[in-house]
Chains A and B, each alone.
Chain A
Amino acid sequence: MKTTGRWTPLILLGAVIVLMVLPFVVARGGDFAGADGKAGEVIAKVNPDYVPWFTPLWEPNSETATMIFSVQAAIGAGLLAFGFGYWVGRRKGSEQSARDQRGTDAQAETLLTAGPGDS
């Protein structure tokens, strides 16, 4: 069973992009705030008497928070890209050197079979 053709990665990536863009079409005008914040609103609805009893020791403002989240994602993506780039290069390199090696072997064989005695 051959499951991963040439186009598989592109199809997978395309599907992810569609899933990320679709919300902006379906839920046009939504604020796209975090679902955890939405849960906070639900808490306020089911239990109006609830008062949070603890505040974060340090809280970045929302723009800084967005920035830190982006940095987090960027570091992750960077590491992933570096890793795969390195591995792809390493495999190409080892294939190349295997080819070179075969070339050298073939040459050596020719030299051996066509030894000085034949000429």
Chain B
Amino acid sequence: MPSVTGSSSHPTGMGLGSILFGPWPMVLVGSIVLLFQALLLAHGGITTWGANCFSMAIVGAFVAFGVFKIVRRLGASIPVAGFCAAAISDLVTYCTTATQLAIAYPDKVSGFWGSWVKFMGVFAVTQIPLAIAEGLLTSLVLVYLLKYQRSEMGSLGVLKTGEQWA
């Protein structure tokens, strides 16, 4: 997906998955996706697989799950909480990547923080509009799931029995 910085990046899908299935299954699913992309697309890479699994599959999944729970407890509807969870999880994933790169490649003059600012400039800024887009799409899918798949949402534990979602 293109972004306002004139470069491109991806949504991660961890938000929707974690809301529906919980964070643990998504750690596994995300890791498999990253392995496939590394092997079939030379995207991400085998030597960096662990680092990518951490930023996307682990941090992404748990941030999404946590944000969803917190925002729900604050009384927001499922689609609104889903938007927050997906957008924040997507953004935090890329901030984690920037942090990892800054640890691996500290600037010779300004050290870790100097490097961190540069990597954040690349990833976080590019990611902001994409995170919002992922949040909106997650929200949309949740609206439809709640409309047409109420009973399944109930059995997944997203919706409690008799609970109003809107």
Contact = CB atoms under 8 A, between A and B. Distances in A.
Nearest to B144: A84
A1 interface: yes
Contact of A56 (B8, B42, B139, B148): B42
Given A47-B108, A54-B47, A23 B3 contact: yes
B159 interface: no
Nearest to A34: B8
Contact of B129 (A13, A19, A34): A19
Interface stretch (B18-26, B53-61, B62-70, B117-125): B117-125
22 contacts: A4-B79, A4-B147, A9-B140, A19-B132, A19-B136, A22-B129, A27-B3, A27-B6, A30-B7, A32-B2, A35-B8, A35-B122, A35-B127, A36-B9, A42-B119, A46-B105, A47-B105, A56-B42, A65-B41, A69-B41, A84-B144, A88-B148
Interface string B128-150: 01101100110111011001110
A15 B41 contact: no
B4 to A, nearest CB: 5
Nearest to B147: A4
A24 to B, nearest CB: 7
A87 B143 contact: no
A27 B4 CA distance: 6
Contacts of B133: 15-16, 19-20
A60 interface: yes
Nearest to A15: B136
Interface of A: 1-4, 8-9, 12-13, 15-16, 19-20, 22-24, 26-27, 29-39, 42-43, 45-47, 50, 54, 56-60, 65, 68-69, 80, 84, 87-88, 90-91
Contacts of A84: 144, 148
B142 to A, nearest CB: 10
B101 interface: yes
B166 A2 contact: yes
Question: In the complex, which of the residues A31, A35, A43, A50 has the most CB atoms of chain B within 10 Å of its own CB atom?
Answer: A35
A87 B149 contact: yes
A3 B80 contact: yes
A22 B123 CA distance: 18
Contacts of B139: 12
Nearest to A11: B136
B43 interface: yes
